[in-house]
Amino acid sequence: MFRKSLGMYTIHTDGRIVQCSISSKLRKNLEYWWDVSQSPGMHKRVKQVHDIREVDPVAIGDHVRFVGAPDDAQSHCADEGMIVEVLPRRNAFSRPAAGRKPIEQVIVANVDQVMPVFAAREPTPKWRQLDRYIAAAELAGVPSIICINKIDLAQAEDSIDEIAAMYGHVGYRVLLTSATTGEGIDAFAEALRGRVTALTGRSGVGKTSLLNAMQPELGLRVGQVSQATGKGRHTTSQLEMFPLAGGGAIVDTPGMREFEIRHEPAGGGLASLFVEMRPYIGQCRFGLGCEHWHEPDCAIKEATEAGEIAQMRYDSYVHILRHMPGKRH
Ligand code: GDP
Ligand code: ZN
């Protein structure tokens, strides 16, 4: 499913494009699938938005089963249908839905990778935000590729090479690009080709320019949709997935809420979303009960002091931990 707008869904199938509505049965059945009422703190946030009446059972990227309109080969109306089933999702990014009930709205599903885009300068990168994006992607079980754009503006004091090396050491691929000089554009295009990518990053980092450098007009088309999404009231109903000329597709996710971490994974907890912390989980004095913050004899704090875990990553960990719903530190 590539696009949706006020109850109409655009489906790509076998080279055809089909406009679909959804069956009312499906809407009713799926309305409460994404109930996350166990997550405290949700209720308050949800109440602040008033414009969406219900949760949409179909998300961008969903694989769906649909039935066609009466088959009339002569008619041009043949490319209309009705979605009757949403197939199980490989992964999903969601946000709290509007309305009174603490439910989640899936924004995009079945992506192959997430690509957070930051600028070396203008705007100043917030690396903690990058850590939040990639931790949220880990939670969804989706790999991340980091893109640092405007590399032509980087000054020595920005330490871009050191930061890129640090993330590389953790295990993430880092692309250094400049839409202005063309540096890294081939690698950028190659990283997107043939895959479904959720692109994320605040406005001004150069996403439009990067996409245009890769495929003429692509960035402009994406930008038009995300502008409408940012301003419009129906914030979740106008997302769109854009096919790439060489195969694959991108979806522009604003990233503010769908990359929030609203619950800790079982087992290793939040630390397990920080790849380099994983080997230390369970090694602390308090074992799996350690939050790696105030506790004594914490293997993760010791590894940070020893320089095996980067201080800025550890600081991001603590920041995310403190801001999780239900934590009152
Ligand atoms: P978006 O909001 O993420 O889509 O960002 P845009 O592509 O609209 O770019 C924002 C501004 O940054 C524009 O003025 C671009 O010309 C500029 N820009 C984009 N990429 C680069 C780059 O690699 N280097 C420099 N110096 N400027 C860039
Ligand atoms: Zn610990």
229 and 138 in a common domain: yes
**Closest-CA residue to 167 (of 148, 192, 139):** 148
In-domain check, residue 135:
yes
Residues whose beta carbons lie less than 5 angstroms from ion ligand 2: 284, 290, 292, 298, 300
Cα–Cα distance measured from residue 92 to residue 98, given in angstroms and rounded to the nearest whole number = 18
Secondary structure element (H or E) that encloses residue 132, with its range: helix 127-140
Q: What pLDDT, on the 0 to 100 scale, is given for residue 163?
A: 98
In-domain check, residue 280:
yes
Q: Count of domains in the chain?
A: 3
Q: Render pLDDT for 51-108 as a digit per residue (tens, 0 to 9).
A: 334 577 888 888 888 887 655 544 454 578 888 888 899 999 988 776 666 778 888 8
- What single-letter amino acid sits at 142? V
273 and 213 in a common domain: no
Q: Render pLDDT for 30-50 as a digit per residue (tens, 0 to 9).
A: 443 333 333 333 222 222 222
Cα–Cα distance measured from residue 236 to residue 55, given in angstroms and rounded to the nearest whole number = 10
- Ligand 1 binding pocket, CB closer than 6 Å: 149-150, 152-153, 178-180, 203-209, 223
CB environment 171-197: b (16+ within 10 A), e (fewer) = ebebbbbbbeeeebbeebbebbeebbb
Q: Are 184 and 178 in contact (CB under 8 A)?
A: yes
In-domain check, residue 329:
no
Q: What pLDDT, on the 0 to 100 scale, is given for residue 26?
A: 72
Q: Which residues of the chain have pLDDT under 50?
A: 30-53, 73-75, 77, 230-237
Q: What does 70-102 look like in DSSP terms, one character per residue? A: S--TT-GGGGEEEEEEEPPPS-EEEEEPSSSS-
112 and 159 in a common domain: yes
30 and 52 in a common domain: yes
Cα–Cα distance measured from residue 232 to residue 303, given in angstroms and rounded to the nearest whole number = 46
The 113-119 sheet, strands edge to edge: 173-176, 145-149, 113-119, 196-200, 249-253, 241-243
In-domain check, residue 328:
no
Cα–Cα distance measured from residue 314 to residue 328, given in angstroms and rounded to the nearest whole number = 19
Q: What pLDDT, on the 0 to 100 scale, is given for residue 7?
A: 65
Q: What pLDDT, on the 0 to 100 scale, is given for residue 70?
A: 54
Query: Considering every ligand atom, which ligand is closest to the CA of 175?
Result: 1
Q: What pLDDT, on the 0 to 100 scale, is given for residue 220?
A: 81
In-domain check, residue 140:
yes
Q: What pLDDT, on the 0 to 100 scale, is given for residue 66?
A: 84
Distance 209 CA to ligand 1 centre (A): 6
Distance 299 CA to ligand 2 centre (A): 5
Distance 119 CA to ligand 2 centre (A): 33
249 and 140 in a common domain: yes
Q: What pLDDT, on the 0 to 100 scale, is given for residue 5?
A: 56
Cα–Cα distance measured from residue 291 to residue 318, given in angstroms and rounded to the nearest whole number = 9
**pTM for the whole structure:** 0.86
Q: What pLDDT, on the 0 to 100 scale, is given for residue 71?
A: 53
List the structure tokens of 307. Answer: 């320089």
Q: Which residues contact 107 (CB under 8 A, 6 or more apart)?
A: 59, 60, 92, 93, 94, 95, 236, 239, 253, 258
Q: Which long-range contacts (CB under 8 A, 24 or more apart) does 226-233 make?
A: 226/252, 226/254, 229/254, 230/203, 230/254, 233/51
Domain of residue 201 covers 93-100+105-258
Distance 274 CA to ligand 2 centre (A): 13
79 and 43 in a common domain: yes
154 and 46 in a common domain: no
In-domain check, residue 232:
yes
Query: Strand, helix or coil at 263?
Result: coil
Cα–Cα distance measured from residue 144 to residue 171, given in angstroms and rounded to the nearest whole number = 10
In-domain check, residue 281:
yes
The 8-13 sheet, strands edge to edge: 3-5, 8-13, 16-22, 80-86, 64-68
Check which CATH number belongs to the domain holding 281 and give it. Answer: 1.10.40.50
